Amino acid sequence: MPRTYPDRPFVGVGVVVWRDDEVLLIRRAKPPRQGQWSLPGGAQNLGETVFDAARREVLEETGLTIDVLGLVDVVDSIQRDDTGRVRYHYTLVDVFAAWRAGEATAGDDAAEVAWVGLDALPPLWSETERVIALAHEKWTALRAQRPRSPGTEN
């Protein structure tokens, strides 16, 4: 089925990847939102779990391996043409993850990749901003729960 003017929604997976206090962003190389900064991710394959899709998409788009930590939210992305017909329809399952290994390099659907602090985010789709903020709350809470090594202050 074509991605434009589909007869049903596609399931997409978006991944908020954290490395310390930085989030991984990609500049999209293909529509929809071509040229815009976004989260790595893409369409879920038949027979693939959401978490497996997240790991695969991040590896394909950035060369990184990640540990998926949990669900952030589900977002509807529906774009209509000038006549009101649905041009794109994605149900996006957003998860958050921790960087495990690798150097970020653009690949597959990414034209560019960058690690960015929350205070330096480029212009993003409002839903992407919201998902990153929710994921940051979960990431911060998870890091606060980690056991500390003896003799460390932080």
Closest CA to 78 of 145, 143, 125: 125
pTM: 0.88
Query: For residue 10, what pLDDT is reported?
Result: 93
Taking the C-alpha atoms of residue 12 and residue 43, their distance in angstroms, rounded to an integer, is: 4
Active site residue 112: yes
Please spell the DSSP secondary structure of 40-90, one letter per residue: SEEEPPTT--HHHHHHHHHHHHHS-EEEEEEEEEEEEEEEE-TTS-EEEEE
What is residue 152's three-state secondary structure? coil
- Residue 61 amino acid letter: E
| 100 close to 68: Cβ distance less than 8 angstroms | no
**In terms of CATH, what superfamily is 10-145?**
Nucleoside Triphosphate Pyrophosphohydrolase (3.90.79.10)
Query: For residue 107, what pLDDT is reported?
Result: 87
User: One digit per residue, pLDDT tens: the chain, 154 residues?
Assistant: 778 999 999 999 999 999 999 999 999 988 777 899 999 999 999 999 999 999 999 999 999 999 999 999 999 999 999 999 999 999 999 999 999 999 999 987 889 999 999 999 999 999 999 999 999 999 999 999 976 655 555 4
Cis-peptide, bond into residue 150, ω within 30° of zero: no
Count Cβ atoms below 10 Å from residue 87 Cβ, excluding itself: 17
**Catalytic one of 22, 48, 60, 112:** 112
Return the sign of the alpha-carbon dihedral for residues 62, 64, 92, 127. Answer: negative
